[in-house]
Amino acid sequence: MNLNNMEEALKRAIEGKTTLPELVDAFESTCRAYLWFPDDEDDLLLFEAGNYNFTGTPTFQFSLTRQIPDGKGEYLQLRLTAHYPPIPFALLLHRTVWSRPDMDFFAVVRGSRAYARVKDQPILAVDCYTMDTD
């Protein structure tokens, strides 16, 4: 699987999208179009939400990741992150969820308190990129 092609497809899918529901829909559609195998323990999805300061500016981040093996013992990741102003008491919204074969991953994402809290809020910025874990 070519992760760069998936990144380009996701960037096209999110172009002009301004709401979290639209971004989540685009990420889900892109993952399904690029043969997501929920029964494959190495083809994983990750959902993270919380206040973070990775860039030097604290934001509340709602992040979705698709992780696949790189064939060399590490992983490649496609990441989509929506940034919001920091949220007081965000520990109540903090989530880290890895996909499992027995779950509807995107239902978990859409059913989370974090999603409910920010789905109608204006997004400050959206990041979409690929990275490796080595």
Q: Is 34 exposed, middle or buried (0-12, 13-18, 19+ CB in 10 A)?
A: middle
Tens digits of per-residue pLDDT, 72-88?
888 889 999 999 999 88
Place of tokens 């999805």: 45
pLDDT in tens, 45-75: 999 999 988 878 889 999 999 988 877 888 8
20 in Cβ contact with 116 (< 8 Å) = no
* Global pTM value: 0.87
